[in-house]
């Protein structure tokens, strides 16, 4: 009887939260899961790209993060639906030993191949970078190529092509401390050079995203263990970077992503969560979207998810050629969710002192479950 009462309570909490969060979802065009059923119980770390033949998404799936059976899956959007996920890479080694795969990143070369970067290794401090290419929008893939020793490719978020032809892969390492660096190629992954690491300035950061600004400057926003999203700036096409510094936005020690829109504004998707007390790590709910004209002053735009049950995380965002924003993220480690947004319909409210603004009629749900808060 008690179990039934608890189940009903959770359902009611969830329905209430859903009704409340809709007040923050002006501009949402579509919400959907990539799949209903899959041959794996757990998934994480999604990425998305627009190709000449349509959208392609990738993520890793398996028994659980770090398990040797974790593989890289691809889903393609064909017609008006996502096709069932297909495994395109695993961690099976030449001698037969199996290792987990991690953090796929898709990048569509303008007028060229679709690139898939991913990692293999027992844990982030020991993984290495791999790459595959597709000439048909993700239908078929080349054999895997190992990146040069010491390279891991874009660690979580998409590369950015600069006007000088350099493809900048935002990257980081987690072995001897958390450090942000860049891996740069002018020939779509055939050869690489490394820039960085960026001076940490006493901050620990990983998983950066790169933004363009009208004055030619570049900015990164990154995850940190310092209770804030951190940033760095470059005025010379990414060759040198300012020391890391905190932004006004909180971070729960979880992944973020960002993109520069066609109109020059910046979009950031992240958990707007300040962990309690002096903790570095916090719950991975809600999942928020903020917009800025200058990368410094931010406005609250959207709440993608807010629920008493945690784990809406590791988002990715792109703007497609039609101007729409596409967000993709981990939904409770059970599914991958895709949300399409019309940025012209968003209603913005200024974020003051790092506090998400209140919206009339909206009350944040009380967190009741925080399971599966993996690294």
Q: What is the DSSP letter of 8?
A: H
Tell me the pLDDT of the chain averaged across its residues: 93
Residue 215 has pLDDT above 90, yes or no: no
pLDDT tens digits, residue range 290-343?
Answer: 999 999 999 999 999 999 888 999 999 999 999 999 999 999 999 999 999 999
CA atoms in the 13 A half-sphere facing the CB of 98: 9
Q: Tell me how far apart the alpha carbons of residues 313 and 78 are, in angstroms, rounded to a whole number.
A: 25
Q: Provide mean pLDDT across the span 94-118.
A: 97
Q: Is 143 left (phi over 0), alpha (psi -120 to 50) or beta?
A: beta
Structure tokens at 312: 């809406």
Q: Is 163 left (phi over 0), alpha (psi -120 to 50) or beta?
A: alpha
Specify the pTM.
Answer: 0.93
Q: How confident is the model at residue 12 (pLDDT cuts 50, 70, 90)?
A: very low
Q: Provide mean pLDDT across the span 71-98.
A: 97
Task: List, in order of start, the domains of the chain with CATH numbers.
Answer: 28-350 (2.120.10.10)
């Amino acid at each position: 009887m008690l179990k039934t009462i608890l189940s009903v309570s959770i359902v009611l909490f969830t329905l209430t939260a859903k009704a409340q969060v809709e007040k923050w979802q002006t501009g949402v065009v579509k919400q959907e899961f990539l799949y209903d059923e899959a041959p794996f119980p757990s998934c994480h770390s999604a990425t998305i790209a627009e190709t000449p033949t349509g959208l392609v998404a990738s993520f890793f799936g398996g028994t659980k993060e770090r398990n040797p059976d974790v593989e890289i899956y691809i889903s393609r959007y064909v017609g008006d639906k996502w096709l069932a996920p297909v495994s395109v890479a695993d961690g099976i080694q030449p001698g037969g030993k199996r290792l987990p795969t991690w953090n796929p990143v898709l990048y569509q070369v303008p007028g060229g191949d679709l690139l898939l970067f991913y990692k293999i290794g027992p844990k982030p401090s020991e993984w290495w970078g791999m790459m595959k290419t597709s000439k048909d929008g993700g239908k078929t893939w080349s054999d895997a190529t190992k990146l040069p020793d010491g390279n891991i490719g874009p660690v979580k978020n998409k590369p950015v092509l600069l006007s000088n032809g350099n493809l900048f892969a935002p990257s980081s390492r987690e072995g001897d401390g958390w450090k942000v660096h860049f891996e740069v190629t002018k020939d779509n992954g055939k050869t690489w050079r490394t820039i960085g690491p960026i001076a940490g300035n006493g901050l620990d950061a990983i998983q950066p995203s790169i933004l363009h600004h009208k004055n030619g400057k570049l900015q990164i926003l990154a995850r940190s263990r310092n209770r804030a999203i951190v940033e760095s700036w470059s005025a010379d096409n990414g060759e040198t970077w300012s020391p890391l510094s905190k932004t006004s936005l909180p971070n729960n020690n979880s992944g973020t992503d960002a993109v520069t829109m066609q109109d020059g504004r910046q979009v950031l998707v992240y958990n707007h969560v300040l962990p309690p007390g002096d903790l570095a790590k916090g719950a991975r709910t809600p999942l928020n979207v903020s917009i800025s004209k200058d990368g410094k002053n931010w406005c609250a735009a959207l709440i993608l998810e807010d629920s008493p049950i945690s784990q809406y995380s590791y988002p990715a965002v792109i703007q497609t050629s039609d101007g729409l924003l596409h967000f993709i993220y981990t939904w409770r480690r059970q599914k991958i969710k895709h949300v399409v947004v019309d940025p012209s319909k968003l209603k913005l409210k200024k974020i003051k002192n790092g506090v998400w603004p209140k919206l009339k009629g909206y009350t944040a749900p009380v967190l009741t479950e925080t399971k599966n808060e993996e690294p």
